[in-house]
Amino acid sequence: MQFWDPRIEELPKADLRKMQYKLLKSLICRLYSFSSFYHNRMKEQKVHPDDIRELSDVQKLPFMFKQDLRDNYPNKIFTATQEELVRYHVSSGTTGKPTVVGYTQKDIDTWSNSLARGLTAIGLGRGDVIQVSYGYGLFTGGLGMHYGAERIGATVLPTSVGNTERQIELMQDLEVTAIACTPSYLLHIGEVAEKMGVDIKKDTRLKAGILGAEPWTEGMRTRMENWLGIKAFDIYGTSELSGPMFTECGEQNGFHIWSDIALVEVIDTKTGEQLEPGEKGELTLTMLQKEALPMIRYRIGDISSIEEDICPCGRTHPRVTRIQGRVDDMLIIRGINVFPSQVEYTLMSIPQVGQHFQIVVERVGALDDMLVRVELTKESFSDKITDLMQIRKNVEHRLRNALNVAVDVEIVEPGSLPRFEGKSKKVIDKRSL
């Protein structure tokens, strides 16, 4: 069994906790002294760095939410200067403003090392050819995996998303051994390959898929493994943590959350109380080493549980089980996070359509299709079909720009969409994973 950094990965749990405490303490001291945002937050919570005397004192610290990044757009809570940053990534915001994350060189190194450990744990290394079919650009998926794969000495094929037939040709010609993409995109690749007469199992050297950025299930894993003749591994992350960050090991039984990089808690969403290992709740992460954008008790909104027993692979770091849902109404469409509030916000600025809408998500073949139904206002009804088509095209265009994902729009009669009292159920998710 291979390790990237066996000294850390197999460190006894007691030592890991000591290390975590030291990292947490120095992080909190640094933030209290040098960041007005974190200083004020701690004051509001009436907690001082002196109150952090053991690891469990993390519970005294205030939580952070995505809203904190939005409120401080673009970089007000960064704790590194622009000169110290080597990269930005940007994700679309829930109500117009995107969220910006920044990295120092050390942050990029930590991120790449986290992935290097994970990729090694699933059996990849020098000699492997890793096709990165996550989007490259503002999204963290492509570049994050790219740097991680280079770190272990693998050869990277940076295909990004799209042009699937070409991806399959290159997979064959360059003898790709592993692919990193969303699970639905891998299913799509499988289907396109079949149409091209390519049997991924026999005609390629593909042996592993590193799949994430959207929810999937054990059923999908079994199906893909049998169909494509690969091992399918789950990967977890989000741009606020850096990007795709934590993978499963060869056991395929939860992501190892490297204790020297992140302190993971599962909390009760309502009370904010920490839950015991094995109990299901909201994942909360504290990034212990980040320089540019430290996240303290960051509530990502994903629901899961922690396993603290030592993994059969020998790694002592806790595992987080497969993500089981969300605490909010966030949707993941082709790997992109979409909040219904983004749709609402965008529609509000288009006078031809009303404020009511309905989102219908379906899986057509392997890929997600998102349909937004909007009501045409009385004032903008035109007898000419071309005018109506233009309105629809404009709404599609505006939504696509706001959400970073292609959307179909259906114009419906005014008053025809369901009205809800209180928390509205504006999303019909027909996908069965």
**What residues line the site for other proteins (CB under 8 A)?**
376, 378, 381-385, 388-389, 410-416
As measured in angstroms, the least distance from the Cβ of 372 to other proteins is 12
By beta-carbon proximity to other proteins, the closer residue of 348 and 389 is 389
Distance CA 398, CA 343 (A): 10
By beta-carbon proximity to other proteins, the closer residue of 22 and 393 is 393
For 83, the 3-state DSSP assignment is helix
Show the tokens assigned to 427.
């999303």
As measured in angstroms, the least distance from the Cβ of 364 to other proteins is 16
For 100, the 3-state DSSP assignment is strand
By beta-carbon proximity to other proteins, the closer residue of 317 and 356 is 356
By beta-carbon proximity to other proteins, the closer residue of 37 and 381 is 381
Q: Specify the DSSP element, H or E, that contains 236.
A: strand 231-238
DSSP 9-42: HT--HHHHHHHHHHHHHHHHHHHHHH-HHHHHHH
* CB atoms near residue 66 (< 10 Å): 22
By beta-carbon proximity to other proteins, the closer residue of 327 and 406 is 406
For 201-206, the CB contacts below 8 A with 24+ separation are 201/227, 201/228, 201/229, 202/229, 203/172, 204/171, 204/172, 204/175, 204/176, 205/129, 205/175, 205/176, 205/177, 206/171, 206/176, 206/177, 206/178, 206/179, 206/230
For the chain, give the longest Cα–Cα distance: 74
Cβ neighbors of 373 (< 8 A, separation 6 or more) are 357, 358, 359, 360, 409, 410, 411, 412, 417
Cβ neighbors of 52 (< 8 A, separation 6 or more) are 24, 25, 28, 58, 60, 61
Chain position carrying tokens 């007000």: 76
By beta-carbon proximity to other proteins, the closer residue of 245 and 343 is 343
Residue 350 half-sphere exposure toward CB, CA atoms < 13 A: 26
As measured in angstroms, the least distance from the Cβ of 413 to other proteins is 6
As measured in angstroms, the least distance from the Cβ of 142 to other proteins is 33
As measured in angstroms, the least distance from the Cβ of 368 to other proteins is 19
As measured in angstroms, the least distance from the Cβ of 351 to other proteins is 15
By beta-carbon proximity to other proteins, the closer residue of 275 and 411 is 411
By beta-carbon proximity to other proteins, the closer residue of 240 and 375 is 375
As measured in angstroms, the least distance from the Cβ of 401 to other proteins is 21
As measured in angstroms, the least distance from the Cβ of 95 to other proteins is 28
